[in-house]
């Protein structure tokens, strides 16, 4: 892909989501696996497909809100009922709880969508003029990479609650795509539904364009000879590669992450699919835009910051200091360090002959500056990762890697 194409807006973003991810899912043996039917996978050339939509009576659904745009709220929460969207593969799956009740509801206009890199989050391709652009994150109970992609009431509630909470995080390099609306069909504790994620980053800034972070370093499936977008950016700006990458991309990711963790106890899973680089018309990186807020929350950090726990479940699935340290390590060392920064450093090495250790040393410095009390919350001398045989739900089993931290 040519860097100039990034400025083409929605179509360009969709192209990167679907096709500029080549070679980026090698961080674990499960990362490239999917049980989604081939026609719903992002990298396939099916241009679009339709979500099934029904009108659900207001008293049969729970609706969660984080300051949705009024046009979007009116589009989904209507006088005749709530527009309830279902992935076609979920709709066809007789094993899905409560589906009989949902299938009995009146059908409404299907929604034309295209998948993003996560497969179960899709972009709406058409919407009325008064409705702002949106993604839908769907209940899709098949295994995609490590996890079964269910979207239960708890996930919906917490994603919206974290979106609401992040409105309080003020940092000039931080922005986010909020899950402003969530709808769950009442079945029982296994209720499921969908999230509506707005395409416009908050806080709003005009004249900005998004690049999913994996598309900075991944290959383009359709143009295998094209240079990675990151290399095109560095060359276009005639920038010094290490300073450009550390100061403009990696340091902002670390700083945003440390702020959310320390100030709000929210452990953003800032890997390369959950972050997008926002650039201006001159290609200058301005902010890191975050998405996907079904994340762990550290109750201890919330308490220290004087904040409540408006989340369902027990926050971080950890009640000992040891378990908390393991989760901090998993999210920072693995999701950010290993699944994201390692690839960026690899591009610097392959295209500019940079010694990756120089990049790591610079980032370690940034990390300790942004997170001065890290040694209290992280395992100082080692890292944790998912156990290879982890179950596909979130009852995660972690294992001690017995290796010193690389990016902190």
Applying CB under 6 A, the span of 43-51, 84-92, 166-174, 288-296 interacting with ligand ATP comes to 288-296
N-terminal to C-terminal alpha carbon distance within the chain: 33
Among 6, 14, 16, 25, binds ligand ATP (CB under 6 A): 25
Closest CA to 209 of 347, 394, 10, 365: 10
Applying CB under 5 A, the span of 19-27, 90-98, 110-118, 260-268 interacting with Mg ion comes to 110-118
Applying CB under 5 A, the span of 2-10, 117-125, 188-196, 392-400 interacting with Mg ion comes to 117-125
d(C-alpha 257, C-alpha 263), whole Å: 10
Applying CB under 5 A, the span of 97-105, 221-229, 284-292, 343-351 interacting with Mg ion comes to 284-292
Applying CB under 5 A, the span of 6-14, 52-60, 163-171, 290-298 interacting with Mg ion comes to 290-298
# chain residues binding ligand ATP, by CB under 6 A: 23
Q: State yes or no: residue 294 binds Mg ion (CB under 5 A).
A: no
Q: State yes or no: residue 137 binds ligand ATP (CB under 6 A).
A: yes
Q: Where are the beta strands (DSSP E) in 170-320?
A: 174-176, 179-185, 192-198, 209-212, 275-279, 285-290
Residues 311-350: x where in contact with ligand ATP by CB under 6 A, - otherwise, as a string: ----------------------------x-----------
Closest CA to 175 of 305, 276, 297: 276
Q: State yes or no: residue 271 binds ligand ATP (CB under 6 A).
A: yes
Q: State yes or no: residue 120 binds ligand ATP (CB under 6 A).
A: yes
Q: Which option in Mg ion, ligand ATP, none does residue 150 bind, with CB closer than 5 to 8 A by kind?
A: none
Among 12, 14, 99, 117, binds ligand ATP (CB under 6 A): 117
Residue among 17 and 292 whose Cβ is closer to Mg ion: 292
d(C-alpha 64, C-alpha 77), whole Å: 11
Under 8 Å between Cβ of 168 and 265? no
Among 158, 274, 326, 334, binds ligand ATP (CB under 6 A): 274
Burial of 351 (0-12, 13-18, 19+ CB in 10 A): middle
Q: How many CB atoms lie within 10 A of CB 248?
A: 20
Residue among 23 and 379 whose Cβ is closer to ligand ATP: 23
Q: State yes or no: residue 139 binds ligand ATP (CB under 6 A).
A: no
Using H for helix, E for strand and C for coil, what is the string for 317-359?
A: CCCCHHHHHHHHHHHHHHHHHHHHHHHHHHHHHHHHCCCHHHH
Burial of 287 (0-12, 13-18, 19+ CB in 10 A): buried
Residue among 180 and 274 whose Cβ is closer to Mg ion: 274
Among 179, 292, 298, 342, binds Mg ion (CB under 5 A): 292
Q: How far is the CB of 100 from ligand ATP (least distance, A)?
A: 26
Which residue has 């009431």 as its token pair? 153
Contacts by 122-128, CB closer than 8 A, 24 or more apart:
122/51, 122/87, 123/10, 123/13, 123/14, 123/17, 123/199, 125/48, 127/75, 128/71, 128/75
Residue among 35 and 247 whose Cβ is closer to Mg ion: 35
Q: State yes or no: residue 149 binds ligand ATP (CB under 6 A).
A: yes
Angle at which helices 153-166 and 251-264 cross, to 10°: 100
Q: Which residues bind Mg ion (CB under 5 A)?
A: 118, 273-274, 292
Positions touching ligand ATP (CB under 6 A) are 21, 24-25, 31, 117-121, 137, 144-145, 149, 214, 269, 271-274, 291-292, 294, 339
């Amino acid at each position: 892909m040519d860097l100039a194409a990034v400025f083409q807006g929605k179509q360009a973003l969709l192209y990167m989501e679907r096709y500029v991810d080549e070679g980026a899912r090698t961080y674990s043996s499960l990362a490239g696996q999917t049980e989604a039917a081939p026609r719903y996978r992002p990298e396939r050339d099916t241009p679009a497909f339709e979500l099934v939509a029904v009108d659900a009576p207001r008293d049969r659904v729970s609706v969660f809100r984080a300051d949705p745009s009024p046009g979007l709220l009116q589009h989904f929460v209507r006088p005749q009922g709530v527009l309830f969207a279902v992935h076609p593969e979920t709709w066809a799956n007789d094993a899905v709880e409560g589906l009989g009740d949902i299938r009995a509801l009146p059908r409404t206009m299907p929604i034309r969508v295209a998948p993003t890199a996560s497969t179960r989050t899709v972009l709406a391709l058409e919407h009325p003029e008064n409705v702002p652009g949106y993604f839908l994150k769907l209940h899709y109970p098949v295994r995609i990479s490590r996890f079964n992609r269910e979207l239960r009431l708890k996930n919906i509630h917490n994603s919206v609650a974290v979106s609401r909470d992040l409105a309080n995080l003020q940092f000039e390099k931080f922005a986010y795509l909020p899950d402003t609306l969530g709808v769950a069909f009442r079945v029982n504790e296994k209720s499921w539904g969908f999230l509506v994620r707005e395409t416009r980053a908050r806080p709003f800034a005009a004249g900005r364009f998004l690049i999913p972070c994996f598309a900075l370093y991944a290959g383009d499936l359709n143009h295998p000879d094209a240079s990675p977008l990151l290399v095109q950016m560095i060359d276009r700006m005639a920038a010094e590669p290490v300073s450009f990458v550390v100061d403009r991309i990696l340091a902002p990711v670390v700083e945003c992450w440390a702020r959310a963790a320390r100030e709000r106890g929210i452990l953003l899973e800032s890997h390369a699919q959950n972050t997008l680089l926002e650039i201006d018309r001159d290609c200058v990186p301005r902010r890191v835009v975050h998405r996907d807020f079904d994340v762990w929350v550290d109750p201890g950090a919330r308490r220290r910051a004087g904040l409540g726990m408006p989340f369902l479940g027990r926050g971080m699935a950890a009640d000992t200091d040891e378990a908390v340290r393991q989760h901090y390590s998993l999210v920072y060392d693995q999701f950010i360090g290993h699944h994201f920064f390692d690839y960026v450093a690899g591009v610097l090495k392959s295209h500019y002959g940079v010694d990756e250790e120089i990049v790591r040393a610079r980032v370690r410095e940034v990390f300790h500056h942004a997170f001065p009390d890290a040694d209290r919350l992280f395992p100082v001398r080692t890292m944790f990762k998912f156990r290879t045989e982890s179950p596909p739900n979130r009852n995660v089993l972690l294992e001690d890697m017995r290796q010193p931290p690389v990016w902190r």
